[in-house]
Chain A
């Protein structure tokens, strides 16, 4: 099954995150404030090579960069 978002290079994980974000923003204001907190993610990682820690990168930024690079490659 070819999905439009897959053809545009968006991963399923990112697709789920986008749909969840939309649903959270569509809530009535009292529930929305609680729910929006769930969408916040600030994860950093660093690659280790040869015992040396590499540069500390934000996962969100790294994912976006990867997706933009791979856009259009998957069918």
Chain B
């Protein structure tokens, strides 16, 4: 008698329809990050699932994984490293911009200029450093000195990345 009751309840439970999972656009897999990395003239990543992205934010170096808290980070001119699903690591030096983590593991990085490290020339970097140092220490206008200091910051970061 008891077993019949149990069997009937089990049948009812099985017949009850499950709440329909609402799916809109394809959801990001729970352990992946959907990355879009775009420059004004070029899209490096367009809604591609990756494993992890390391960025150089003004508030510090950050590693962004799936399920990251939504946040907006101003980027320092520096290296962004993308760890892809297939296990490849790609590094790009970005000139600055913003990284936005949106709910649902969506990361959008916008930068003005960005290139893989092999596209840079250490010699050009060195020449620019010496020129910028001359201007920064020279007798030009405050504007020129401030701009030279900005350049030095970027160049030092680039030089360190190229080593």
Residues of B36-94 whose CB lies within 8 A of A: 41, 58, 77, 93
CA distance A38 to B112 in the complex (A): 10
Inter-chain contacts of A10 with B (CB < 8 A): 143, 146-147, 150
| Contact A23–B158 (Cβ < 8 Å) | yes
Contact digits for A1-41, partner B, Cβ 8 Å, 1 yes 0 no: 10011001110001111111111111111011001001000
Interface size, chain B (Cβ < 8 Å)? 29
Q: Which of B41, B112, B115 contacts A27 (CB 8 A)?
A: B115
| Contact A23–B115 (Cβ < 8 Å) | yes
Q: Which of A1, A23, A64 contacts B154 (CB 8 A)?
A: A23
Q: Interface majority SS on A: helix, strand, loop or mixed? A: helix
Q: Which residues of B pack against A, CB within 8 Å?
A: 41, 58, 77, 93, 95-97, 112-115, 119-121, 124-125, 128, 141-143, 145-147, 149-151, 154-155, 158
Known interface pairs A26-B158, A27-B121, A32-B121; 5 further A-B residue pairs with C-beta atoms within 8 A, sorted by A's residue number: A8-B142, A20-B95, A22-B155, A31-B119, A64-B143
